[in-house]
């Protein structure tokens, strides 16, 4: 299979953008973790941090699953990817 130059350029831009996004996310996470002062950490702050983390993690998971299911339903109903001979 031979890809056109336009498709190759688009793919390179897409993957480059995804890589830059991953680098920004990792940099942001490291910066956040370095900003914590563990010498003044008490039980209340630790539970608050854990609660926020679990809330964001579960919310992100639910949104991802819902988006995936809705996308699958829409693709199935709109017959994307099917040929006229199917």
Distance CA 61, CA 42 (A): 28
- Domain ranges in the chain are 1-35, 38-86
Global pTM? 0.52
Instruction: Find all residues with CB under 8 Å of 83, minimum gap 6, and list them.
Output: none
What pLDDT score does 59 carry? 92
Phi-psi region of 69 (alpha: psi -120 to 50; beta: other; left: phi over 0): alpha
Answer yes or no: is pLDDT of 79 > 70.
yes
Q: Are the C-beta atoms of residues 41 and 47 closer than 8 Å to each other?
A: no
Query: Would you place residue 69 in the very low, low, confident or very high pLDDT band (cuts 50, 70, 90)?
Result: very high
pLDDT bracket for residue 37 (50, 70, 90): confident
Q: Which residue has the higher pLDDT, 65 or 23?
A: 65
Mean pLDDT of 12-24: 70
């Amino acid at each position: 299979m031979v890809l056109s130059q336009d498709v190759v350029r688009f793919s390179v831009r897409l993957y480059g953008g995804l890589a830059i996004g991953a680098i920004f996310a990792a940099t942001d996470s490291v910066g956040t973790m370095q900003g914590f002062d563990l010498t003044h950490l008490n039980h209340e702050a630790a539970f608050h941090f854990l609660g926020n983390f679990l809330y964001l993690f579960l919310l992100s998971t639910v949104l991802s699953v819902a988006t995936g299911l809705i996308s699958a339903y829409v693709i199935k109903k709109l017959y994307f990817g099917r040929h006229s001979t199917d």
